[in-house]
Amino acid sequence: MALSEEEGELLKGIVREYLELLDAEREPGDPVIARLFPSASIDDPTLEADFRELAGGDLQDHKRQAALRVLEYLDTGDRRPLTDDEQEAWLVALTDLRLAMGVRLGVTDETFDAFPNPNDPAQWPLAVLHYLGSLQESLVAALDA
């Protein structure tokens, strides 16, 4: 990953915030948590409870470990090629970061398609969301090549 120092610092901050979200007490009805940990069944509460009991912790651990791998890579300052495990971690983390930010920002197809104005600080979070998308797209293209 060839990132500038500024990009690395931005990503470290976002990943740390994401880890705080994962480690925080879950608020019932939080739309970000609902998006990151979708329901196994909206019609069968027993099935949903069984799923959460069996897989909920594993899914959270998987997301947390992926974010920690990304943070570890960023903290080293090393710009070596990503290992296969790191590639997977980056893709998982970038997907989750984009999902979480998109939900928090209330992004729709219309708001996402409008490129943010870099001179408007209120639009910077949307610009970061676009940046994460381009970073993810670049990683997928590099892995595909």
Q: Tell me the whole-structure pTM to 2 decimals.
A: 0.88
pLDDT in tens, 76-101: 877 788 999 999 999 999 999 999 99
- Residue 32: partners with Cβ closer than 8 Å, 6 or more residues away: 21, 99, 100, 103, 104
Looking at the structure of the chain, the number of domains it has is 1
Which candidate, 32, 70, 36, places its Cα nearest to that of 56? 36
User: How many Cβ atoms from other residues are within 10 Å of residue 13's Cβ?
Assistant: 11
Structure confidence at residue 67 (pLDDT): 98
Which candidate, 77, 120, 89, 106, places its Cα nearest to that of 15? 89
| Boundaries of domain holding 65 | 5-144
pLDDT in tens, 54-68: 776 788 899 999 999
What parts of the chain have a pLDDT lower than 70?
56
